[in-house]
Amino acid sequence: MAAKATLEVAGRKVDVSNLDKVYYPKTGFTKGQMIDYYIRISEALLPHMQGRPLSLKRYPDGVEGFFFYEKQAPSHRPRWIKTVKVAKTEGGAIDYCMLNDLPSLVWAANLADLELHTFLHRAPAIQRPTALAFDLDPGPPADIVLCCQVGLWLKEIFDTLKMQSFPKTSGSKGLQVYVPLNTAVTYEKTKAFAHAVALLLEKQHPELVVSRMQKVLRKGKVLVDWSQNDDKKTTINVYSLRAKERPTVSTPATWEEVAGALKKKSGGKLVFESSDVIKRVKTLGDLFAPVLTLKQKLPPLRSIEI
């Protein structure tokens, strides 16, 4: 790829630059390859971005350089970038970008928005989360294998409630579990419910699970982070790259794969790089598609016995 180019993307011209700049020094993965990945995965990715306000997390010098979050939509954005205004607690508002189409995705990627951090709601219903989300974060020496065990315990809870749940890797060191709702609900209710589930797991498995955020409590345990269920918090979007040594991706998995990693006590098969994900989607389709469409009602809080 040339250092600079103008791409014709779905009928729009998008300027891109510094395409030969290395973003992942350990592998030589370049900015051009990053943009190419997002173009190639867009058919699976974009439905999960649709209508979701986005915090840009920009890495202008690659994963080993500085990064910064940009919530306010840049003033130099093209006029076709969709935004949504969200009121701030302390007054005023933020215009968040939304990457609803491929030209918008390529534009953001060219700004070095390597990681895609989205909210659990869609505009205009910005007080209505579409899913419950649990981030399983291991405290060393615990690793993703223990996250697999905790994820399967989490699945059992929702199986008992007759609700489907879907795992994905964080693309970093942990695992995430989403429980689609797509029904009328509030963050107040989902956050309380998720907290109750985390407390239940901590009560059932105190030697391996923690629900409190203090890092000192996490050693050798898995934090079941329920706090993501909040209208002010973003979570790494499915199919997003991560700023790690290698171009790993937050990737949907099957519960069979999770159980297999636990059985073999090896999380290596749950590490997916960009090229792996392209192949997986071609073979398996979008394993996270039901998270967008499956309608499940949040049970009453009393259904979680603590």
pLDDT for residue 306: 58
Question: 4-118 architecture in CATH?
Answer: Alpha-Beta Complex (3.90)
201-244 per-position pLDDT tens digit: 999 999 999 998 777 777 899 999 999 999 999 999 999 999 99
pLDDT for residue 270: 97
Q: Which class is 131-232+240-303 in CATH?
A: alpha beta
pLDDT for residue 222: 97
Low-confidence ranges of the chain (pLDDT < 50): 1
In terms of phi and psi (left: phi > 0; alpha: psi -120 to 50; beta: otherwise), the region of 162 is: left
pLDDT for residue 1: 45
**Residues forming CATH 3.90.920.10 domain(s) in the chain:** 4-118
pLDDT for residue 153: 98
**Residues forming CATH 3.30.70.3300 domain(s) in the chain:** 131-232+240-303
